[in-house]
Amino acid sequence: MSTHRSAVSYCLGIESTADDFSVGILSFNGDVLANIISAYIPEKGGIHPREAARHHAEVAGKVLEEAFQKARIKPQDIQVIAFSQGPGMGPCLRTGATAARALAAYLQVPLVGVNHCVAHIEIGKLVTGAKDPVALYVSGGNTIVSAFEAGRYRVFGETLDIAVGNCLDVFAREAGLRQEKGVPFGAMVEKMASQGRTFISLPYTVKGMDLSFSGLLTAVVQLLHEGKHPLEDLCFSLQETVFSMLTEVTERALAHTEKREVLLTGGVAANKRLQSMLSQIADEHDARFCVVPKEYALDNGAMIAWTGILAYQHNITLPVEKSFVKLRWRLDAVYAPWVGG
């Protein structure tokens, strides 16, 4: 290992929008050297932003150290620091931003603020080779159908209320399922659903390319508390309904934009049933179906680092005094000159 600054450029990315704190290190040509994720698991209920932020602050040092060890480079080899600037939970975002500012100042390198939703799509494109997809980004916090048009990722459809992952999580908690390390609620619902036999009709709410899950959640929770149906059947019906809705709007966006690729990303992308539904509509429209592997589909630092590199190479950097976090930073508010150039 040489002691002087290496010829290859590296970016370190910090992700901390919600319950995960993660650090990724990538070379400018897109090699992932490290992608370390530390998840905060609440004892009870959903994510408490302050508690999650406390977790992030506690593990930040350790995760950074681990990332450098894994990447086998020194902090001085880093050319750019990227961080998730939004959207997300305030206390969590601020913890990541503080770490990023400190690192950038210490190393005297530029800072780049990255939009979390853009990052999910960019890393998906990097790891699957997709060029210009219709992207379905589904997680605990987001449900977005997007495609790139003239400088921006446009939002063709999105949830009008809660995110699909949130809908599944709340149902799982109501059903008394317990979250375990490495086994998210979604995976538990998926397993239960695979044993379901009878489909129970639930509200199916699609408005153009937008979706609504809150009424459906209320209905299925009511059925749960009535106790007349086996949990397996409820999980099965819930999954079938929400995934059919997602597939319908994705197909609508595909038909509308006439793109040739479908990209599935976000935490819910791990669900095999959703994957199979989307791959069928992709086939029918002669589009290639790309699913982002789990480690890059969940919230992760690598996606922040990669998007940071793309932005930095187009001279987009962020002065520290302007690096405040943006809790509600929309995907379609980001100018993305690096795409299609």
Partner 1 sequence: MLIKRGAEASLYLEEWHNRKVIMKRRLPKKYRVSKLDEEIRSYRTLHEPQIIHRAKEAGVPTPTIFMVDIAEATVVMEFINGKQVKQVLDDFSAEERCRLCCVIGNLIGRLHNHGIIHGDLTTSNMILTPHGKVVFVDFGLSEHSTELETRGVDLHLMKRAFQSTHYKYAKESFNMVMEGYAEATGNEAAKNVLEKIKEIEKRGRYVSERKEVAV
Is 163 an interacting residue with respect to partner 1 (CB under 8 A)? yes
Q: Which stretch binds partner 1 (CB under 8 A): 3-11, 19-27, 103-111, 159-167?
A: 159-167
Phi/psi of residue 333, each to 5°? -90, -5
In the numeric block, which tokens belong to residue 13? Answer: 């990315």
Q: From residue 257 to residue 286, what is the string marking binding to partner 1 with x (rule CB under 8 A)? A: -------------------xxx-xx--xx-
Q: If DSSP codes are grouped into helix, strand and coil, which group holds residue 216?
A: helix
The amino acid at 249: V
Q: What whole-number distance in Å separates Cα of residue 42 and Cα of residue 53?
A: 12
Is 160 an interacting residue with respect to partner 1 (CB under 8 A)? yes
Element (H, E) at 77: none
The amino acid at 253: A
Contact pick of 173, 256, 260, 314 for partner 1 (by CB under 8 A):
256
Q: Which stretch binds partner 1 (CB under 8 A): 131-139, 176-184, 291-299, 328-336?
A: 328-336
**Torsion sign (Cα): 138, 208, 274, 232:** positive
Q: What whole-number distance in Å separates Cα of residue 95 and Cα of residue 108?
A: 20
Q: If DSSP codes are grouped into helix, strand and coil, which group holds residue 258?
A: coil
Q: Which stretch binds partner 1 (CB under 8 A): 3-11, 55-63, 124-132, 252-260?
A: 252-260
Contact pick of 201, 315, 319, 341 for partner 1 (by CB under 8 A):
201
Contact pick of 204, 221, 295, 338 for partner 1 (by CB under 8 A):
204
Instruction: Please identify, using beta-carbon distances, which residue of 63 and 162 lies nearer to partner 1.
Output: 162
Contact pick of 4, 181, 322, 328 for partner 1 (by CB under 8 A):
328
Q: What whole-number distance in Å separates Cα of residue 341 and Cα of residue 337?
A: 7
Residue 128 CB, nearest approach to partner 1 (Å): 20
In the range 42-61, which residues lie near partner 1 by CB under 8 A?
Answer: none
How far is C-alpha 11 from the geometric centre of its chain's CA atoms?
Answer: 19
Is 322 an interacting residue with respect to partner 1 (CB under 8 A)? no
Q: Which stretch binds partner 1 (CB under 8 A): 101-109, 125-133, 202-210, 215-223?
A: 202-210
Rg of the chain over Cα atoms, rounded to whole angstroms, equals 20
Kindly provide the residue ranges of all beta strands, DSSP E only, lying in the chain, ordered along the sequence.
10-15, 20-27, 32-39, 78-86, 111-115, 134-138, 143-149, 152-158, 206-207, 210-211, 261-265, 288-291
Q: From residue 205 to residue 234, what is the string marking binding to partner 1 with x (rule CB under 8 A)? A: -xxxxx------------------------
Taking phi over 0 as left and psi of -120 to 50 as alpha, with beta for the rest, 261 belongs to beta
Instruction: Please identify, using beta-carbon distances, which residue of 27 and 237 lies nearer to partner 1.
Output: 237
> Could you list the residues that contact partner 1 (CB under 8 A)?
86-87, 141-142, 149-150, 152, 154-156, 158-161, 163, 199, 201, 204, 206-210, 240-241, 244, 247-249, 251-252, 254-256, 276-278, 280-281, 284-285, 326-333
